[in-house]
Amino acid sequence: MSDVELKEAPGVRESHELLPLVVEIIPGQAAEGLIDIYEPGSYEGTTLRKLCDRTLSRKEWTIEEQLIIEDINRQLKGGKLLCRGREIEGHALDYSVSERTEAGERYLYVPVRVIKPQEGGSHGPAEGA
């Protein structure tokens, strides 16, 4: 009986590893962010933080993407990387959800938001506070 369980568990994990992983790093309250695609297997055993660092350290971005990176880096000064309301600490697969493109191709998606806590009084007087 335990042999059956051992055979089923790797099959489930294997199906995730055969899908590309799309990591989107979104600065602050922006609607869109920087998207990076990792080929199946290239992210296995890698933490989400390491993938975010790898994405942000890449140099071959368009001008529009470079502006998003600048915004992300501004937010990161004193800010945090969050995914689904919690700080990123585990493996990328722990945060991923399976989605489909319009053409029906499956992929794993991880939205990461960069949040910088508001500092009281640094942006002028707070009204109604």
Q: pTM (2 decimals)?
A: 0.76
Q: What is the mean pLDDT of each run of 10 residues along the chain (129 residues)?
A: 38 59 93 93 91 93 93 92 90 93 95 81 43
The 10 Å Cβ neighbour count of residue 126 is 9
- 30: Cα separation from own chain's centroid: 14
Pairing state between β 106-115 and 21-27: parallel
Q: What is the pLDDT of residue 18?
A: 85
> What are the pLDDT digits (tens) for 50-77?
999 999 999 899 999 999 999 999 999 9
Q: What is the pLDDT of residue 81?
A: 94
Q: What is the pLDDT of residue 31?
A: 87
- Residues 115, 104: Cα–Cα separation, whole Å: 32
The residue whose two tokens read 């799309």 is 22
Q: Considering all CA atoms of the chain, what is the largest pairwise distance in Å, rounded to the nearest integer?
A: 66
User: What domains can you pick out in the chain, each with its CATH number?
Assistant: 13-115 (3.10.20)
Please choose, from the candidates 13, 12, 58, 10, the residue with its C-alpha nearest in 3D space to the C-alpha of residue 34: 58
